[in-house]
Structure 1
Amino acid sequence: MNNKTIVFTGGGTGGHVYPALPIIELLQEKGFRICWIGSHTGIEKRIIAEWNLEYYSISTGKLRRYFSFKNFTDIFRIIAGLFQSIKLIKKINPAFVFSKGGFVSVPAVAAAWLLKIPSFTHDSDVVPGLATRINHRMTQNTFLAYHESRKYMKSHDDKIVISGNPVRSDFFNNEIPLPETWNKKLDGRPLLLILGGSSGAKQINLLVRECLDELTRHFTVIHQMGDELFQQEAEREHYHPVPYLNEELPALLQKADLALCRAGAGTLWELAVTETPGILIPLRVGSRGDQILNAEIVSQRGMALILEEKDMTPSGLLALIMKLYQDESLRKSMVENCRNFVNKKAEDVIVSYLLKES
């Protein structure tokens, strides 16, 4: 293939960016040049800078499912973003465009469609987002994480590929070394890893704080609190709060006896790949309900437990953690179910389709 350039697009949250990295790494190994089209101020701009990729900004407007005056003003931003995308894609002249979803991806995919350049999209959640459903009409293939997701796409069923979710290769390596500073903190005790996401989870932080005395009797607790919610002074014996975990996360998950976390799609697949028994507290307020459905899917498969709303108290959380920790047969069953769930690497599936186009 003469054209070795690919445009990626997506953003708004880390979940619309991070799963693209394993795909990008595979393509770079095959000699492809990767560019990214995102927003002027979104989280994707920071992440892509860390990956040392070419980044191009466009105007964006949010795609809302409810009435808001901003729906009218954002139309003009979306139109501006479309014309900017057309100009950029003409200039870059990629072999194809790959979308990871989020409202910023729609102008880029539409521009590719208008320019008769092939495009592809991937969605990580059980219920594909609105941007993915719009892009689906214009793509060559749409990659979905779950078989259950297919029913939410109203047309072009022949374009759908069930690929799973891409996960960084480090998470598949059960021999990855943990820095000695972390090994000293673990001190040979059972490890409870608490993950609130990059921005943290206030609800989880408050619940954990009320349980700490009892939790630290049984576990070494490593708690990702989020950059904005981080409290260094909270550190105490057997309790280690951190603002964010990145490079050390795969090794910590491999070592963890239990994980307590939200139910973002990326986190759930990282738990599955590392075969880590999990307790999920899905985000319920201020979301479209995707985490609730994500959690239900993995719970039904016997891979994790859900802390239900009626049990959303310190005592309810502590009871569920201790129930899972003390039930060795349940944890072994979860490990086996995780192993059976991840039977292929999503990035291999996706790249095999992309290379057909190249």
Structure 2
Amino acid sequence: MKILLSGGGTGGHIYPALALAKRIAEIEPTTEFLYVGTERGLESTIVPKASIPFRSVEIQGLRRSLSLDNLKTVYLMMTSVAKSKKIIKEFQPDVVIGTGGYVCAPVLYAASRLGIPTIIHEQNSVAGVTNKFLARFVSKICLCFEDARNDFAAYDDKVIYTGNPRAQEVAQIKEMASLTEYGLREDLPTVLVFGGSRGAEKINQSMVDAAALFAEKDYQALLVTGSLHYDKVRKQIESLMPKADHVKVVPYVDQMPALFKAVDVVACRSGATTLTELTALGIPSILIPSPYVTNDHQLKNAESLANHNAAVIILEKELSGESLFQHMDALLCNQEKRNVMAQKAKELGVPDASDRMWRVIQSVL
């Protein structure tokens, strides 16, 4: 079997595709994969490291306001569709799967015009522009949140709830990080705070403002600042807390799921992949949706957990050192509440998401 994957721009579009490929390779070891992305996206470095052949096309998104750039977008769409057809004809895939990002538009459109079965995977609770465009052309539409079904109402016969393949991969991870590696104690309740791979300035500053409040508490915190903010935040916290025994700061964490397994609460943004990992492992969370995303989809993602008592939400406009600390204190001081939230989060996880996707693939062949 030959499978062509496409998705790009952010890790949230890339890692589900790689997790799916990994699982399919376990089921059907002879499967050949090709990944089509852009040279400018993260996929151009992440995918080759996963030992999957990579090809690229050039594409950009439409601007919402009138702009001459949109003429360039139309031109790039036409040329990238032509290049995608060429790549597809050379590789001759049995199925083409798109996991989001602008690059999926020309690749899956080209595949559908060539009569090849196509599947799109929507990770968020609000469908992206590209997937909305592709919905009429593809064979199947896979969802991670039931809330997204409303965005594909006209194509309901194509829609299948599968969850995110990343969930199955994370649920099977055996490693657990050691808190002592971060200068923390293993015997204290711990909250992990981060704002995405690059960090979030408002979250970092709120933790700086809250840091001194940890001094007399029987719990601790690990703040992942993002490399850009690390030096500034570390110096701020050390100036407030010379020993900083209860609050530690690091710039970046390579294996976040292994660290999730070592902590009791996570406070973070509500990107789709992060929520997939939290529910796969059953981790209570304080979600701070980014207000800088299309259609406010991070808030919708967060509500999908909060409405099931699996998380609590702090809006960015309400975020401060005091509000963040109050939410952390309420959870870290109440193990029973954490246990209930953990169970609710676990119930929302889909530990067989890749297997569900595999069944969808078989259904279109």
TM-score (norm 2): 0.90
State the 1:80 CA deviation: 1.3
User: What's the counterpart of residue 24 of structure 1?
Assistant: 21
Matches within 5 A, 1:128-167: 128-167=127-166
Flag the structure with more relative contact order, 1 or 2, with Cα contacts below 8 A and sequence separation at least 6: 2
**Distance in 2 of aligned mates of 1:242 and 1:170:** 25
Alignment CA distance shift 1:217-1:8 (3 Å):
farther
Check if 1:242 corresponds to 2:250: yes
State the 1:342 CA deviation: 2.1
SS of 1:213's partner is helix
State the 1:329 CA deviation: 3.1
Matches within 5 A, 1:131-210: 131-167=130-166, 169=168, 171-173=170-172, 175-178=174-177, 182=181, 185-210=184-209
**Distance in 2 of aligned mates of 1:345 and 1:186:** 34
**Distance in 1 of aligned mates of 2:214 and 2:323:** 13
User: What's the counterpart of residue 303 of structure 1?
Assistant: 310
**Distance in 2 of aligned mates of 1:135 and 1:97:** 12
Check if 1:355 corresponds to 2:355: no
**Distance in 1 of aligned mates of 2:107 and 2:295:** 24
Could you tell me which runs of 5 or more consecutive residues in structure 1 were left unpaired when the two chains were aligned.
Answer: none
State the 1:357 CA deviation: 3.8
**Residue range with higher mean Cα deviation, 219-228 or 70-79:** 219-228
SS of 1:241's partner is strand
**Distance in 2 of aligned mates of 1:25 and 1:308:** 36
State the 1:147 CA deviation: 1.8
SS of 1:139's partner is coil
User: What's the counterpart of residue 110 of structure 2?
Assistant: 111
Q: C-alpha offsets along residues 216-245 of structure 1, whole Å, 9 cap, x if unaligned?
A: 543332222223323385474343323322
Could you tell me which runs of 5 or more consecutive residues in structure 2 were left unpaired when the two chains were aligned.
Answer: 239-243
**Distance in 2 of aligned mates of 1:356 and 1:252:** 37
State the 1:167 CA deviation: 2.1
Alignment CA distance shift 1:72-1:292 (3 Å):
same
- Check the 8 A contact 1:170/1:176 in 2, yes or no: no
SS of 1:53's partner is coil
Alignment CA distance shift 1:60-1:217 (3 Å):
farther
Give RMSD over aligned pairs. 2.1
**Residue range with higher mean Cα deviation, 135-144 or 234-243:** 234-243
**Distance in 2 of aligned mates of 1:215 and 1:92:** 57
**Distance in 2 of aligned mates of 1:221 and 1:170:** 27
Alignment CA distance shift 1:324-1:28 (3 Å):
same
Alignment CA distance shift 1:110-1:175 (3 Å):
closer
Matches within 5 A, 1:304-323: 304-309=311-316, 311-323=318-330
Alignment CA distance shift 1:355-1:239 (3 Å):
same
User: What's the counterpart of residue 14 of structure 1?
Assistant: 11
**Distance in 1 of aligned mates of 2:150 and 2:281:** 29
User: What's the counterpart of residue 70 of structure 1?
Assistant: 69
**Distance in 1 of aligned mates of 2:152 and 2:87:** 29
State the 1:286 CA deviation: 4.9
**Distance in 1 of aligned mates of 2:215 and 2:102:** 42
SS of 2:254's partner is coil
TM-score (norm 1): 0.92
User: What's the counterpart of residue 290 of structure 2?
Assistant: 283
- Check the 8 A contact 2:280/2:351 in 1, yes or no: no
User: What's the counterpart of residue 222 of structure 2?
Assistant: 222
Aligned residues between the structures: 354
**Residue range with higher mean Cα deviation, 338-347 or 232-241:** 232-241
**Distance in 1 of aligned mates of 2:167 and 2:125:** 20
**Residue range with higher mean Cα deviation, 251-260 or 308-317:** 308-317
**Distance in 2 of aligned mates of 1:95 and 1:112:** 10
Alignment CA distance shift 1:346-1:168 (3 Å):
closer
State the 1:103 CA deviation: 0.8
**Distance in 1 of aligned mates of 2:89 and 2:65:** 34
Q: C-alpha offsets along residues 282-304 of structure 1, whole Å, 9 cap, x if unaligned?
A: 00135430101111111111100
**Distance in 1 of aligned mates of 2:270 and 2:100:** 18
Q: C-alpha offsets along residues 197-219 of structure 1, whole Å, 9 cap, x if unaligned?
A: 11211111111111112235433
User: What's the counterpart of residue 56 of structure 1?
Assistant: 55
User: What's the counterpart of residue 95 of structure 2?
Assistant: 96
**Distance in 2 of aligned mates of 1:205 and 1:151:** 35
State the 1:310 CA deviation: 5.4
